[in-house]
A and B are shown apart, each in its own frame.
Chain A
Amino acid sequence: MFHARTSGKFLAIVAGGALLLSACAGNDSASNPTASGSASASAPASAPAAQTITYSYEQEFHSYNNNTAAENATRNAGPLQRVLTGFWFFGDKGAITPDKDFGTYEKTSDDPLTVEYTISDKAVWSDGVPIDCDDVLLWWASNSGKVKGFSSSGTTGVEDTKLPECDKGGKKFSLIYDKPFADWIANGPGATAMLPAQVVEKQAGLSEDDFIAAVKATDAKKLEKAIKFYNDGWISEGTLPAADLIPSSGPYKLSKMDAGQSLTFVANDKWWGAPAATPTIVERVIALDEQSQALQNREVQIVQPQPGPDVLKQLQGLEGVKTEISDAYTYEHLDFNFDSSPFKDKALREAFAKCVPRQLIVDNLIKPVAPESKPLEIRNVAPFQSNYAAVIAASGGGAAAYAQPDVEGAKALVEKAGKTGTEIKIGYQTPNPRRTAAVQLIIDSCNKAGFKVVDKGSEDFFGTVMPANGYDVALFAWSGSSLVSGWGSTYTTPVKCDGENKGNNNGCYANKEVDALVKKLNSTVDLAAQDPIIGQIEKILWDDLATIPLFQHPGLYAWDEALQNIVPNPAQSTITWNMDKWSLT
């Protein structure tokens, strides 16, 4: 007992004492609150309050050069939109928009297709060097595939052009095509494509004249150092490359990078166009799931979270926040396996298309996020594109037959084919709760029609299951584009149905008519003439049931109401496409 009591005393002093004293202390401070208030004589802190806008993005900026194979990604393309400008950019609703500040271009001849480009006289890099011939040549050398060694994200279109003729300091050049190219309008150096040649020259130890001569001679050997720098020299490793390596040709320049945290843009004082509305923009790296709370706590003012009904409602419930749902370019579709599956039989494809509950999938999985959403009617033009209605009209509305599931009709077809109980493997990439849910809905509906649909979702779907034909129908998403040269190959008959040759035509769909139309489309230089051709292709795709389009993916954006001119963009230019117009009221 004795010890217990002494230890009690001891404890009471230690623990109780601390509390007691802090309590007295509280009284004390409260009785003269001015003591602390007036004592704070610290200088006012300057924070990014007044003239800064902060937006969030899930991935960290990697490279000032968005044109190499590995770095061609929205994590770079987004931030660089208004840092490296060009003749055109993906503007409102992802439409190809000429950038008049940078320069002008026009088609001067159809045969051979010739496009004449003029860089603005005022155009100058932020280090004071004019934007001119050597920059153009650097762009051409790295994107045409004619100079070996440059890492490129794609040479389509540029590979068909002749070397642009220009001389040192020249601001005019032409792209002359060997054959007609449908997407000529977006084939010149656009936003993020034109890089400062003076930096490359300096790093490679070449004079401007030497560099121009070397490119004109497509002398890969002489350009070796230049190529090496172009491929790797602009990759950031947690910090930005030295300021003199990353000059700007737009309203903003990159000023600072804090590894894993943020990227800061400041207005470019050498910018010749309309000045940036807000002096400082900050990109913060925030995982998708964490963005809405960061907005709620106003650590960022613009967020682009993973769309979902809960996030949407939560954002809509916030005070002073504007929420917008807009379509993305990505669309979900079912892709049949024509190579080895029951779906070689068109009747079964038709039956399957009849039983897939397209409307229910949209109602249950998409409408909670995007109430306006509808099942997709065509594949290759997105609902927000200006030519959507025109193409649907031209396609003859093949989707109408499959607007609502017709389980009875499907059952009849399956029975007629004598294939009741056929096992159908739906393959898709896991984990993906939305696809799992969609597959569940398909199973529920199509099993009533006499199929035996099984969920074959796999974590390695694209790597092993799909190449090994371990699926009958695949559920996945494709990214659309306002360009036509991108998707044609998806429906073109492959030379041989194997991994090497089938490209994006995973199921080896084959139709000679489509092949011819795609070819025609890719060489149709007149934009207006393209729509009817796309419509014809869509019609055949519906007739053949090459794929079943399901829905356009929604995009979710939210920002502080105090911000003006925030316009989400479905293209790879992302929401930052007009960041020089953003302003705070």
Chain B
Amino acid sequence: MTLNAQASVPDTASDSQGMAIVARTQGQMVRRRFFRHRAALAGMILFGFVIILAFSSIGFAGIPGWWGKNYLDTGALTNQGRPTLSLIPEFLGGTGLHLGEHPFGQDDIGIDYFALTMRGAQQSITIAFVVGIVATFFGTIVGAVAGYFRGRLEAVLMRLTDVMITIPVLIIAAVVGRMMGDSGALVLGLFLGLVTWPTLSRLVRGEFLSLREKEFVEAARAIGTPPRRIIFRHILPNTIGVIIVSATLGIASAVLLESALSFLGLGIKPPDTSLGQLISEYRSAMVVRPWLFWWPGMFIIVIALSINFIGDGLRDAFDPRQTRVRA
């Protein structure tokens, strides 16, 4: 979370009841509200855990991880590839708490399924974040420029947005899949981000349209502040709530978008994998080898759910208008 990075407006207003209170910056208030949102906090801890687990276990980008196996090595099937993870302690009639050789089992050619699931989680998280960042970046820039400058520039940008909105994401995914071959999650995420920004740009433009008429902008313009500075230093910080919330929700839906693409055969290409790829591949195993279906599925749900809760917490933190109603 990069909440500290945003420009903060000092809050010097004193409480109407006349009690002396310490002035808090906008950032501090947001942080306080966010950490009071229990579900969001739980979501953040959970999500942090998943990220650390996924990236540290099998390593990433050449850095080795602590889990001994990787997601490409085949091997002999032990016990027909059943999972060795045991969570029921001995005194409850189970086989004790242990991970075993292949906690999540093995796939058809003996690849460790825990390693595969972790790789899938890495890829899904990477795609989701790349989509989120790219879409947020472009959405914000386009929305800000269109909203601030208005006129012909706005018309052009907004028509561009309209065109982008009508283009089905699946086409982009299909083209990227073909052109980029197996260059993987980063490229796929980049292109998906390049088509999913229009929603945010509309939101940001809306915010800019109303903010640019505010007195403080007027004042800044009057003293000759250059437009770039007005946009980035004066208006943008006030729209940060909308942007961050939309970015988190975008990230959560990108996780699901990736799984849908994989289901339709347009996602990450084997031998690399993603969570969506894994569940769609082992969909038919739901009855017979349920672990192949459930583990990646659980990770998708946990990732999407925790990001959604973080987003909800951020919304409440930035925009307290919807919190408590007490008449």
- The short answer to whether A and B are in direct contact, CB under 8 Å, is yes
Q: Using a CB–CB distance below 8 Å, which chain A residues touch chain B? A: 2-4, 289, 292, 308-311, 313-314, 317, 364-365, 368, 430-433, 436-437, 439-441, 444, 455, 457-460
Kindly specify which of B37-45, B139-147, B227-235, B284-292 makes contact with the partner chain.
Answer: B284-292
Query: Number of contact residues on B: which range applies?
Result: 20 to 34
B284 touches A310 (CB 8 A): yes
> Contact between A458 and B288 (Cβ–Cβ < 8 Å)?
no
Q: In the bound complex, do residue B327 and residue A460 qualify as a contact, i.e. CB atoms below 8 Å apart?
A: no
Q: Mark B311-327, 1 if CB is under 8 A from A, else 0.
A: 00000000000000011
Answer yes or no: B97 CB below 8 A from chain A CBs: no
Q: Lowest 5 A-B CB distances belong to which pairs?
A: A310-B285, A3-B327, A313-B288, A436-B270, A310-B288
**Which residues does chain B contribute within 8 Å of A433, judged by CB atoms?**
270, 281
Q: Does B74 contact A (CB under 8 A)?
A: yes
A156 nearest CB across to chain B (Å): 34
Most-contacted residue by chain B among A292, A310, A317 (CB, 10 A): A310
Q: Which of B237-284 contact A (CB under 8 A)?
A: 265, 269-271, 281-284
Asked whether B297 is an interface residue with its Cβ less than 8 Å from the other chain, the reply is no
B78 CB → nearest A CB, Å = 13
CB–CB B288/A364 < 8 A: no
Decide if B109 touches A440 in the complex (CB within 8 Å).
Answer: yes
Whether the pair B287, A459 counts as a contact (CB closer than 8 A) is no
- Distance in Å: Cβ of B267 to nearest Cβ of chain A: 9
Q: Are A289 and B109 in contact (CB under 8 A)?
A: no
Within 8 A of A (CB), among B157-182: 177-178, 181-182
Option from A314, A441, A455 in Cβ contact (under 8 Å) with B74 = A441
Interfacial chain A residues near B109, Cβ < 8 Å: 364-365, 437, 440-441
Q: Which residues of A contact B288 (CB under 8 A)?
A: 309-310, 313-314, 317
Asked if B108 and A430 make an inter-chain contact with CB atoms under 8 angstroms apart, the answer reads no
Chain A residues with Cβ under 8 A from B182's Cβ?
430, 457-458
Which DSSP category, helix, strand, loop or mixed, fits chain A's interface?
helix
| Residues in A whose Cβ lies below 8 Å from that of B281 | 433
In the complex, B184 has a CB within 8 A of chain A:
no
Hey, which chain A residues are within 8 Å of B178, CB to CB? 459-460
- Given A437-B108, A460-B178, A317-B287 contact (CB < 8 Å): yes
The verdict on B110 contacting chain A, using a C-beta distance below 8 Å, is yes
Q: Which of B77, B271, B284 contacts A308 (CB 8 A)?
A: B284
Q: Does any Cβ of A come within 8 Å of B153's Cβ?
A: no
B29 lies within 8 A of chain A by Cβ: no
Closest to A436 in B: B270
Bound together, the chains give a CA A440 to CA B77 distance in angstroms of: 15
- Cβ of B270 and Cβ of A364 under 8 Å apart? no
Whole-angstrom distance between the Cβ of B281 and the nearest chain A Cβ: 6
Q: How long is the Cα–Cα vector from A441 to B289 in the complex, in angstroms?
A: 22
Question: Contact at A309–B74, with CB atoms within 8 Å?
Answer: no
Chain B hits for A440, CB < 8 A = 72, 74, 109, 271
Contact of A431 among B72, B265, B292 (CB under 8 A): B265
- Does A314 contact B287, Cβ atoms closer than 8 Å? yes
A24 CB to closest chain B CB (Å) equals 33
B270 touches A457 (CB 8 A): yes
Interfacial residues of chain B within 206-230, with CB under 8 A of chain A in the complex: none
Report A458 CB to chain B, min CB distance, Å: 6
Cβ–Cβ < 8 Å partners of B177 in chain A:
459
A112–B288 Cα distance when bound, in Å, is 60
Measured between alpha carbons, how far is A486 from B109 in the docked complex, in Å?
35
State how many angstroms separate the Cβ of B73 from the closest Cβ of chain A: 8
B282, A310: Cβ atoms under 8 Å?
yes
List 8 A-B pairs, Cβ < 8 Å.
A4-B326, A309-B288, A310-B287, A314-B287, A317-B288, A430-B270, A440-B109, A441-B109
Residue from the list B74, B269, B284 in contact with A292, Cβ < 8 A: B284
Among residues of B, the one whose C-beta sits closest to the C-beta of A313 is: B288
Q: Which residues in B have their C-beta under 8 angstroms from that of A4?
A: 326-327
Which of B73, B181, B289, B326 contacts A310 (CB under 8 A)?
A: B289
B324 to chain A, nearest CB (A): 12
Q: Considering the complex, give the chain A residue whose CB is closest to the CB of B293.
A: A310
B124 shortest CB reach to chain A, Å: 17
* Complex partner residue of A459 from B72, B269, B282, B285, CB under 8 angstroms: B269
Q: Point out the residues of chain A lying under 8 angstroms from B74, CB to CB.
A: 437, 440-441, 444
Write the chain A residue with the least CB distance to B80. Answer: A368
Judge whether B271 and A436 touch: CB under 8 Å: yes
Query: B181 touching A364 by the CB < 8 A rule?
Result: no
Q: Which residues of A contact B326 (CB under 8 A)?
A: 4
Best-buried of B74, B77, B282 by chain A (most CB within 10 Å) = B74
The smallest C-beta distance from A431 to any residue of chain B, in angstroms, reads 6
Contacts A458-B181, A460-B178 given; does A431 touch B269 at CB 8 Å:
yes
Contact between chains at B271 and A365 (CB < 8 Å): no
> B72: nearest residue on chain A (CB-CB)?
A440
Question: A75 to chain B: closest CB distance in Å?
Answer: 20
